[in-house]
Amino acid sequence: MDQFLIKGSSRIAGEVTISGAKNAALPLLAAMILAKTPSTLHNVPLLQDVRTLIKLIAGMGIVIKKDQSTVICDTKTIDNFYAPYDLVKTMRASILVLGPLLARFGEAEVSLPGGCAIGSRPVDQHLKAFEAMGAIIKVENGYVKAQAPKGGRLIGCDYSFDMVTVGGTENVIMAAALAKGTTRLENCAREPEVVDLANMLVAMGAKISGIGTANMTIEGVDELYGCEYSVVADRIETGSYLAGALMTQGDVLTKSTSPLLLRPVLKKFEAMGATISSGDDWIRAQINKRPQPVDIRTQPHPGFPTDMQAQLMAICCLADGTSTIIENIFENRFMHVPELKRLGANIKVDGHTAIVKGVEKFTAAPVMATDLRASMSLVMAAAAAEGESLIDRIYHIDRGYEDVENKLRALGVHIERINPKK
């Protein structure tokens, strides 16, 4: 199993080009199943989760090919509507093929998903909405077996999500795009990745209003057609590299991204003492002193994103004062705390609240990545620490950060990927 060896005391500075967003690319890939004609998707990041979903889609008999950052998909050869456990178990986003398969072909059999162990992310919100659209849903032997109502087509409905769910919103708007009649959804997720999906569906011929709001209306159409589309920039990758500047009194310029995607995070960076400058497609963070403490509370978009909580906590560990971090999205998303403490952090956790008292420096230690975003917080912390740190279970970071070693090296981080078994 690969590990990262990082020599610390780095000052993270330089330029880095941001990749397409993993959390946007995955639903966009799933949406290609809806199209009768070939689709082309650009700016697709080369990540393990992307490879997995492409393999899953190809397993249905669909012709799907990736060339550099472009994916081309042609569904005319599809011969089954099955997503097996051995692929779905590795990531939760696999459930996103359920809506497109059910809407276009009237049936689907998809394994219940796996992924990061950061807390409960139930798919009941997806299934309840499909049932409201007339689908017959059975969960048997770890698989969701879905059938469209008589006539083979979902029926538009009025539905309000019990909780804000990104995956649920994405799955349902894909299904509703081909449903008979009009679907009115309330309490929808508003994340930029949801907006990106809705915009691609519109480019495919869908009729959607209220994009970017909590209430969306989808007027079902008979058919959707392939389009050419580009994945939105990864706001979490952007924020992660900018966080490295704040942790090491550095200067990072992120390119091919947008400040509009990251407003709540940039406001916190400014509150911590960083100078933030930006243009239409770039953001720069500079700081030449210890960061100031801040308090954050994770919330659905447009609040502070849970996917940036670990990175911000790592900055707070080095802040000149005490910060309070409240995690409202996932119940197990403080698993990185023991690992940061191994590096010398002073953190106390009480339920969903973490109190972080800043220390002057991190000290190198062996640590273990616990989930995707936590892995990046540990990499940045190790880069700031005195001495050499070994980070285990880095397969997590490969799921969400494209070309991470080369990007970090370009920013001055001394990082080496090693495999002790080789």
- Which residues are designated catalytic? 116
Question: What type of residue is 217?
Answer: T
User: Which token pair is 332?
Assistant: 């197990």
Residue carrying the six token digits 């589309």: 229
Task: Give CA angle at 111 (2, 375), nearest 5°.
Answer: 25
For 168, phi then psi, to 5°, come to -65, -45
State the DSSP code for 307: G
Strand partners, 13: 251
Q: What count of residues does the chain have?
A: 422
Q: What is the 3-state secondary structure (H, E, C) of 268-283?
A: HHHHCCCEEEEECCEE
User: Which token pair is 422?
Assistant: 């080789």
CA distance 173 to 212: 13
3 state SS of 412: coil
Strand partners, 198: none
- Give the sheet arrangement for strand 295-297, strand by strand: 295-297, 322-326, 353-357, 346-350
CA distance 169 to 91: 18
Q: Is the dihedral of CA 161, 167, 169, 174 positive or negative?
A: negative
3 state SS of 392: strand
Is residue 347 a contact partner of residue 340, using CB atoms and an 8 Å limit? yes
Is residue 4 a contact partner of residue 415, using CB atoms and an 8 Å limit? yes
Q: Nearest CA to 246 among 274, 267, 270?
A: 274
Distance of CA 286 to the CA centre of its chain: 26
**Distances from the Cα of 206 to the Cαs of 99, 169, 198, 316, in angstroms?**
15, 15, 8, 44
State the DSSP code for 192: H
Q: What is the 3-state secondary structure (H, E, C) of 6-65?
A: EECCCCCEEEEECCECHHHHHHHHHHHHHECCCEEEECCCCCHHHHHHHHHHHCCCCEEE
Q: Is the dihedral of CA 172, 177, 181, 184 positive or negative?
A: positive
